[in-house]
Every structure is written in C-alpha cells, then in structure tokens.
Amino acid sequence: MKLDDPRFYINRELSWLEFNQRVLDQAKDRSNPLLERLKFLCIVSSNLDEFFEVRVAGLKQQKQTQMSETGPDGMSAKEQLEAISARVRRMVDEQYRIWREELQPELEKNGIRFHHYPDVPEEQRVYFENFFHRQVYPVLTPLAVDPAHPFPQLLNKSLNVIVELEGENITTDIAVVQVPRILPRVVAFSGKSTDSDYVFLGHIIQEHVGTLFHGVKVKRAHLFRITRNSNLYVDEEEADNLLHAIEEQLRRLNRGAAVRLEVDHICPEETIQRLLEVFNLEPDDVYLINGPLNLVRLMPLALQIDRPDLRFKRFTPVTVVSLDTEADIFFHIRKGDILLHHPYDSFQTVLDFIGQAAEDPQVLAIKQTLYRTSSDSPIVQSLIEAAQNGKQVTVVIELKARFDEAANIKWARMMREAGVDVVYGLSGLKTHAKAILVVRSEGEEIRRYAHLGTGNYNPSTARIYTDLGLLTCRENVTRDLAEVFNLLTGVSLYPGMRELLVAPYDLHEKMLELIEREAANARAGLPSGIMAKMNALLEESTIQALYRASMAGVPIRLLVRGTCALRVGIPGISENIEVRSIVGRFLEHSRIYRFENAGDPIYYLSSADWMPRNLFRRVELAFPIVSPGMKQHVQEILDWQWRDNVKARRMGSDGLYYPLPVAPNEELFDSQAEFIADSNRRRKKPSATTE
C-alpha cells in the first residue's frame, strides 16, 4: 500500500497550533495556581509571536514567490495561511475571553487588580498624570504621516499608538507614537503596600497623547502592534565572516516584512484599512484584540508578584553526586555512568563537572558544544577560567540558534578574547548536539570524560525543562565523541562511530533500521514494540516506517509534546499507534527512543527530534543507555509518563487532542507531580547513587 496519501498526514502548522491550544488549556485549568495560569496565558502569546515571525513569515514568502513547497499533507502555502488565520482567530478570541472572564476577575478577588484607566480613582489619576509628564512624555516622539514624513519604520513587536487628528491648516490627519521599549508596560499604583493595583502604560499614553499635538485636536487614539518576518538569511558559502554576516542580518530583523497586525477591537475599520495599506497586509492578517495588546508583557508580573499561595509549591532538586573534600566528580564517574533527569535532579552536577574540569590541574583539554545558554552563564565563565588556567579549550558555538544569535555572538567574542578556540561548526549545518568532552591526565594514562544531553547547557531552562543527561568515561563513547569534535573543528570525512549515532550521517538510517527490525520481529512472532518520547514528529520516511511497523502488528506508543504529522486511527495502517502529549508545569523536552528488540530492549537518548531539520540539516547525537539499572530508570520515566491521566492528552483520528477518560475508581496520576514527589523522597536519603 502506498503511504504517501496526503490524508495520512496532519499539517505541521495546524498541528503546532493544537499544541499551543494545549498550553492555553493550562491557563483554563483551575487545578493550576492562579499566577501559573496567567503565566501559561502569556506563553500562548509568546509562542504565537514566534510562530508568526518564523512559520507564517516563511509561508507568506512562499505564496508571494509562487514557490510553494507542499508537505506530505499536500496543503499549499495559500491554503495553510487561510487555515492558520481561521484557527488563530479562534484561539486568540478564547485566550482573551479567559483573560476577561476568568483570570482578571480571579486576580481581582486575590487583590491583584488591572484598572481600566477611566475607572482609576482621582488621586491615582493625578499620580499617573505626573508620571506621564515626568517619565513618559520626555521619551515619546510624535511622528506625522504626510508627504514630508513617510510612515515610520516601526520595530518588530513594538507597541504603537495611531492618532487621528483634526484642526485647521494641518498637513495630515494621522500620526504615530511608538511606545518606548525601555518603559515598563504595566505601571503600579503609588503608595500601595499590600494589594497590587496596576494600569497599562499604553492606556496612560492614550489618555495623555493629546499633549504631544499642540493646537490640534485628537479625535481618536488606538493601540496597535506589528509582527515582522524574523527569519535569518545568511549564505554561509558567500560570507567571509559568519559572525559579522549574522550581526548584519540581526540589525535588519526589526525591519523585516510585516506579517501580522494586532489592533484594539474598537479601532475603526477605516483606520485598520490605512494600516493594512501601509504594511502591505491583507484583511486575514488583522487580529482584533479585546484586552491588553501583547499579554507577554504580563509575564514579569506573573513571575515577580510575591504571592507563593498563587504559585506551584517550590521544590529542591536532588543532588545526585555529593561532592566532598575526599572525592571529585571524576572519581564518581569512574565508579559508573551517572544519569541525570532534570529538573528533578539538580543541574548543579553538570556545572560542577565543567567547573572542576576548569580548575583541576590534571585536566588538559575541554571541548564543548553550545547552542543556547543563560544570560549570566556559569558554564561560559568556567570555560574562560579553564583557558586562563592554561588548558586547551575548544567551543563549538551555534551562531544561528534562533532568537539567541545576539547572545551567542557576545559569548563567542568574550571566549575568544580569553583564549578559547571558538568555531562555528560545519558550513550549512546547525550544531544542535549537546556534549562536553574533558581530557584528563591520570598517572601514565589519559582518560576522557563526557557529558551528553538531550537539552541545552542553560541553568535557567534546566529548572523548567525536562531533560536527560549522561556523565560517563566509557571508552567507546568518549572515543566516539572525540571523533565528533574533530569532525566539527577540523577537515574530516565522517569516520563512523562505535556507539554514538550522528545526524546528518547515520542517525536517521539507524532509527529506520530499528523500526524495520521491530516490524520483522512482529511478523516472525517475536516480542516487538516501539516507545518514543520527543518534541516533534514530522519526518515523512520515519512516519511511513512507523506505519509499516503498525501494519506488521508492532504496538507503538508515542509521547510527542508538540507537532505531530502522523495520523492515528487510519484503518489498516495506524491502528496500532497511539500518540499522547503532556503539557504541564515543566516543558517536556527530553528525547527517548526505545525498541523492544525481541525481548532485549534498546534505549537511546538524543538531542534530535524526528524532524527533517534535526535528521538532515543539523549535527545531532543519539547515545545508548547500556547499564541495566539505567535502562530500568529510563523505562520508569516512559511508564510514568504513559500512565499520566491528568496532564496527558490523546490524539484522535481528527488530529485533535482529548483528555484521557478516567474510571470512577481510577487513581489520578500526574507524572510531573510524581517525579517531584520521588525527588523529595530521594533527597531525604543519606546519599544518591550512580549506576
């Protein structure tokens, strides 16, 4: 049977929007603390911003150039844009209904109030008027729009006010005021010590914008926001200096082509039409907002308001390796591989690994990949310290890590100045692998130590993303990793590996081979099964291999947090496949691939999702878990996640996701909550162990 029928595939963009809907569902979920619900509401907006900047922008370019690339679902760029517009409109309407009817009233009941400016008490109106004249007015610039003043080039995602004017002898009837990003978007009442009362900065400016136009009457003033294309276009083969080329592109991003217009829902149609003409947009690109434009600006409040009663209860991760004066981390790794499950196991162990390597006089060299890290990265500081201590330090940093380009350029310059060898990987490929290699002199031998992970070297996101990491000094793995770094920094052909799988060379081929082996085992009557956890499943040949395995009778369980193009429930094709997604307190980010292998299961952890970009356009790693104890641990992670009937949603044949039915006497099981409880139990034990 041919498996390329478009009906067998779910559109990537529409599947992603269903993932964002699952995030929005967490904002609706009353079992979540109130400020956490607000945070999820903000994340929905942040996700949509990136979706329009990248995905919608790309589709618009395809439509304009008439070079549409249809995916396996067969939808053209035009069809996708129409479907996206309709789906996002429903999502945004629901998002703001939740804000107006649920979150804002409940916040008010808890003493956190967001005031409509006309309803602000008189004494506070005086305060805000003074605030406007002292702190806001000096940084505002009215920009007329007439033959002598072209429409201003507004920055990407900036908040703006379009002002309609009337008066004698005026050259134009509209002007624009851009709200400076340096100012806080939410302004607190003065003199409040307990309860929290706020007004949105945009509303303050709307109220007082007339002071910018002397002798001219302001008829109306409406807030609007523009989202622009934020894709980077760098020809690496033509760029003499990749760092400088990316810097130049970053300077242009704020002025890319407009892809979305958000306006106040009461903005007159004629005003909207003028904005559409200016930005060369169509009616489908307009989103009417009944509430505060850009809910992302509420995120700092959601994180900073001092109300522990309205947040998830804090927990302290387990320190898996207890370091003392008797033993360093290398001693513990020599005892056996160490598996880390973040955020339940502390990321400090990884920081200790790189920190001790920087200080240890026996360490000769450190090699590391960096895709994303934190703004105050202790890892970068350790690498700099290592170089200053005379060690050979090499860092493969990815300058094209989306939305982290500027930060990575800063780190690259800082490390190079400190004597670190900084390289940018292989031309045409992003380096997305997560790896550290430490070379250490131990008596008469040289021993290598490695950390391999599924997530970024970012201590901040390690507290809110679930990821897995392996610390090891096994010779096969560390020798393989040394070859990977030689490939990334030198001039080599891919030499093949003993245990590691490397994209774009053999990772995809090996995954297909393992899937096909399960199908063969099922046909032979041997134990078979596939269980995989990832962020996205989009690669067509992988999906077709899963379909063939399902047709052979292989039971397939997939935990796909985000986008999934595979369609379940197709008669005779995907009846043995079940897809679930978990969206909860932490962002599920780890990638685990398990194959039954006729009763001797094989486990791989990886930095790669089953997506074309990961398998063919990035350098990625997959690494095996070999010790029985660690296999058991990884299996427990998969089993607990599959058991989840609180945060998990199951895909239907329509591509939508539904809560799992719970029997009257069935126990509720929230896998992330159970991992926290397990972390708390392990933390109370005298010491943690390695495998």
CATH number at residue 424: 3.30.870.10
Both 492 and 508 in one domain: the answer is no
432 annotated active-site: yes
Residue 249 reports pLDDT greater than 80? no
| pLDDT (mean) for 287-302 | 93
Contacts with 277 (C-beta within 8 Å, 6 or more apart), sequence order? none
Residue 601 reports pLDDT greater than 70? yes
pLDDT computed for residue 689 by the predictor: 42
CA distance linking residue 584 with residue 671, whole number of Å = 9
Residue 451 lies in a domain: yes
DSSP-derived secondary structure for 235-300: -TTT-S-HHHHHHHHHHHHTTSPEEEEEEETTS-HHHHHHHHHHHT--GGGEEEESS-S-GGGGHH
pTM for the whole structure: 0.92
Where is mean pLDDT largest: 342-356, 364-378, 392-406?
Answer: 342-356
Residue 20 lies in a domain: no
Residue 355 reports pLDDT greater than 80? yes
Both 53 and 153 in one domain: the answer is yes
Coil, helix or strand for 6?
Answer: helix
Both 633 and 485 in one domain: the answer is no
Q: How confident is the prediction for the chain on average, in pLDDT? A: 91
Where does the pLDDT of residue 623 fall: very low under 50, low under 70, confident under 90, or very high at 90 and above? very high
Q: Where is average pLDDT lowest: 91-95, 432-436, 684-688?
A: 684-688
Asked if 183 and 135 touch (Cβ cutoff 8 Å), the reply is yes
pLDDT computed for residue 64 by the predictor: 84
Q: How many CB atoms lie within 10 A of CB 440?
A: 18
pLDDT computed for residue 688 by the predictor: 42
Residue 286 reports pLDDT greater than 60? yes
pLDDT computed for residue 68 by the predictor: 67
Where does the pLDDT of residue 425 fall: very low under 50, low under 70, confident under 90, or very high at 90 and above? confident
Tell whether the torsion through CA atoms of 460, 463, 465 and 467 is positive or negative: positive
pLDDT computed for residue 477 by the predictor: 98
Residue 620 lies in a domain: yes
Both 193 and 224 in one domain: the answer is yes
State what percent of residues in the chain have pLDDT above 90.
Answer: 76
Tell whether the torsion through CA atoms of 574, 575, 577 and 581 is positive or negative: positive
CA distance linking residue 423 with residue 399, whole number of Å = 10
Q: From the candidates 332, 432, 451, 589, give the one annotated as an active-site residue.
A: 432
CA distance linking residue 522 with residue 530, whole number of Å = 11
> What is the per-residue pLDDT across 50-68, written as a single tens digit (0 to 9) for each?
999 999 999 998 888 877 6
Where does the pLDDT of residue 398 fall: very low under 50, low under 70, confident under 90, or very high at 90 and above? confident
Residue 441 reports pLDDT greater than 60? yes
Where does the pLDDT of residue 605 fall: very low under 50, low under 70, confident under 90, or very high at 90 and above? very high
Q: Which token pair is 426?
A: 């292989």
Asked if 72 and 4 touch (Cβ cutoff 8 Å), the reply is yes
Asked which of 497, 522, 557 is the last residue of a domain, the reply is 497
CA distance linking residue 204 with residue 125, whole number of Å = 9
| pLDDT (mean) for 386-391 | 96
Residue 25 lies in a domain: no
Q: What is the CATH number of the domain that holds 180?
A: 3.30.1840.10
SS3 letters across 91-159? HHHHHHHHHHHHHHHHHHHCCEEECCHHHCCHHHHHHHHHHHHHHHHHHCCEEECECCECCCCCCCCCE
Q: Where are the alpha helices (DSSP H) in 527-657?
A: 540-551, 612-616, 628-643
To which residue do tokens 């040394």 refer? 482
CA distance linking residue 474 with residue 627, whole number of Å = 11
For residues 267, 272, 275, 279, the Cα torsion angle rounded to the nearest 10 degrees is 120
Number of domains the chain is built from: 3
Residue 373 reports pLDDT greater than 90? no
Both 543 and 513 in one domain: the answer is yes
Residue 22 lies in a domain: no
CA distance linking residue 5 with residue 399, whole number of Å = 38
pLDDT computed for residue 256 by the predictor: 80
Residue 235 reports pLDDT greater than 80? no
Residue 2 lies in a domain: no
| pLDDT (mean) for 405-431 | 88
CA distance linking residue 422 with residue 395, whole number of Å = 5
> What is the per-residue pLDDT across 151-204, written as a single tens digit (0 to 9) for each?
778 889 989 999 999 888 777 888 899 998 888 889 999 866 556 899 999 999
**What is the Cα 507 distance to its own chain's centre?**
23
Both 471 and 485 in one domain: the answer is yes
Residue 16 lies in a domain: no
**What is the Cα 400 distance to its own chain's centre?**
15
Please tell me the number of Cα atoms within 13 Å of 385 on its side-chain side: 15
pLDDT computed for residue 690 by the predictor: 45
Look at 323 and 431; give whichever has higher pLDDT: 431
SS3 letters across 545-559? HHHHHHHCCCCEEEE
pLDDT computed for residue 195 by the predictor: 63
pLDDT computed for residue 232 by the predictor: 60
Asked which of 497, 526, 544 is the last residue of a domain, the reply is 497
Q: Which token pair is 341?
A: 């499950």
pLDDT computed for residue 652 by the predictor: 97
Asked if 48 and 41 touch (Cβ cutoff 8 Å), the reply is no
648-651 vs 530-534, strand pairing mode = unpaired
Both 229 and 349 in one domain: the answer is no
CA distance linking residue 159 with residue 293, whole number of Å = 8
Both 470 and 592 in one domain: the answer is no
Both 479 and 589 in one domain: the answer is no
pLDDT computed for residue 67 by the predictor: 72
Asked which of 448, 465, 497 is the last residue of a domain, the reply is 497
Where does the pLDDT of residue 375 fall: very low under 50, low under 70, confident under 90, or very high at 90 and above? confident
Domain that holds residue 129: 32-310
pLDDT computed for residue 687 by the predictor: 46
pLDDT computed for residue 244 by the predictor: 54
Both 273 and 142 in one domain: the answer is yes
Residue 421 lies in a domain: yes
What secondary structure letter does DSSP report for 614?
H
Residue 499 reports pLDDT greater than 70? yes
| pLDDT (mean) for 622-645 | 97
Residue 458 reports pLDDT greater than 50? yes
Number of H helices, E strands in the chain: 20, 27
CA distance linking residue 172 with residue 656, whole number of Å = 50
pLDDT computed for residue 194 by the predictor: 57
pLDDT computed for residue 691 by the predictor: 46
| pLDDT (mean) for 381-408 | 87
CA distance linking residue 155 with residue 595, whole number of Å = 49
CA distance linking residue 232 with residue 400, whole number of Å = 8
pLDDT computed for residue 62 by the predictor: 87
Both 546 and 635 in one domain: the answer is yes
- Partners of 226 in the β-ladder: 261
Contacts with 413 (C-beta within 8 Å, 6 or more apart), sequence order? 243
pLDDT computed for residue 169 by the predictor: 76
CA distance linking residue 308 with residue 292, whole number of Å = 25
Where does the pLDDT of residue 143 fall: very low under 50, low under 70, confident under 90, or very high at 90 and above? confident
Secondary structure element (H or E) that encloses residue 166, with its range: strand 159-166
What secondary structure letter does DSSP report for 505?
T
Both 431 and 514 in one domain: the answer is no
pLDDT computed for residue 409 by the predictor: 83
